[in-house]
Amino acid sequence: MNPHISLPRQHGSPMNFGGTTSSGRGEGLRMPRFFKRLFKFPQMDFELAIWEMTYLLIAPKKVFRAVYYHTKNTWHRPDPSFTYLLALFLLLTALAWGLAYTPSPAAIIRLVLVFVFLHFLASSLLVATVAYFFVGRVLGPGVPGLPGRRRQGLFGQAPGADQLEFGYCFDVSIRAFFPVWASLYVVQFVLMPLISKHYWISLFFGNSLYLIAVGYYTVITFLGYNELPFLHHTELLLWPIVVFGVLWAVSLFGYNLPKNVAPLLLRGARYGS
């Protein structure tokens, strides 16, 4: 059953990660709404975050169409509940990987930090930063070399509505990471004794798991930016799938991804052990 989706209480300038300016304060000091709500747990919609996670796996297109809508010149949802939940899930999977493959409690603690802060938060911030500059400039309105009219969305084009927000880029990147977590941090962990064997069928299923993960990541990224009416030719964001497909086919000739890539997940934990 779908949770009740209410309008965000407050949003701000699209150039400030959903930031707002209090009427009694000066214009120079602005606190991003996302960070102001980091510790306001009663205001977080964890039920909606769980609903998003479920549908990111079974119907990702529905997530951005049902949850992300334009209001007060912003598309960003300054609700950290999704980030907290996924960080918690990564903590739990880090404990599982650590207990199975690392030599000491200190190594497990390091693995938790690597999973949450490096694999998840740092990589999502990096992808969001690249997308903020790349997508806005290459796929934004009025870009030379990309023909076609600017798409008109349900809400039209309010003043300032055609500016890509860094907060929205971060929203997309952390949601695209969820299927990667499910595939490579959970399913791969469970199947590791089987897919790391020296059999071609193990190689096939193990490498296909990586293809599914990066394929989901690419599709969800595309769906996120495709919902913005001021971006055009967002189908170009799907091209990496072709590259991943070719690399997957080549890997079937003898390169076992789980056996060779999965140990990289533990590198930070084993360093200095």
Instruction: Tell me which of 156 and 76 has the higher pLDDT.
Output: 76
**In angstroms, rounded to a whole number, what is the distance separating the alpha carbons of residues 85 and 243?**
31
What tens digit of pLDDT does each residue of 99-154 get? 999 888 999 999 999 999 999 999 999 999 999 999 988 887 655 555 444 443 33
* 153-163 per-residue burial string, b: 16 or more CB within 10 A, e: under 16: beeeeeeebbb
pLDDT at residue 266, rounded to an integer: 83
**In angstroms, rounded to a whole number, what is the distance separating the alpha carbons of residues 10 and 78?**
9
- Pair 76, 168: CB distance under 8 Å: yes
- Pair 99, 108: CB distance under 8 Å: yes
Alpha helices in 148-266 (DSSP H): 166-180, 188-195, 200-226, 240-251, 257-265
Phi-psi region of 165 (alpha: psi -120 to 50; beta: other; left: phi over 0): beta
What tens digit of pLDDT does each residue of 166-211 get? 888 999 999 999 999 999 999 999 999 999 999 999 999 999 999 9
Strand pairing report for 31-32 and 19-20: antiparallel
| % of the chain exceeding 90 in pLDDT | 54
CA distances from 188 to 41, 97, 241, 251 (A): 32, 10, 20, 17
**In angstroms, rounded to a whole number, what is the distance separating the alpha carbons of residues 201 and 195?**
8
* 9-48 per-residue burial string, b: 16 or more CB within 10 A, e: under 16: eebbbbebbbbbeeeeeeeeebebbbebbeeeeeebbeeb
Q: What is the pTM of this model?
A: 0.80
Instruction: Tell me which of 20 and 49 has the higher pLDDT.
Output: 49
- Phi, psi dihedrals of residue 13, rounded to the nearest 5°: -60, 135
pLDDT at residue 179, rounded to an integer: 97
What tens digit of pLDDT does each residue of 253-266 get? 999 999 999 888 88
List, in order, residues 6 or more apart from 268 with CB less than 8 Å away.
110, 111, 113, 114, 118
Instruction: Give, for 32, the enclosing helix (H) or strand (E).
Output: strand 31-32
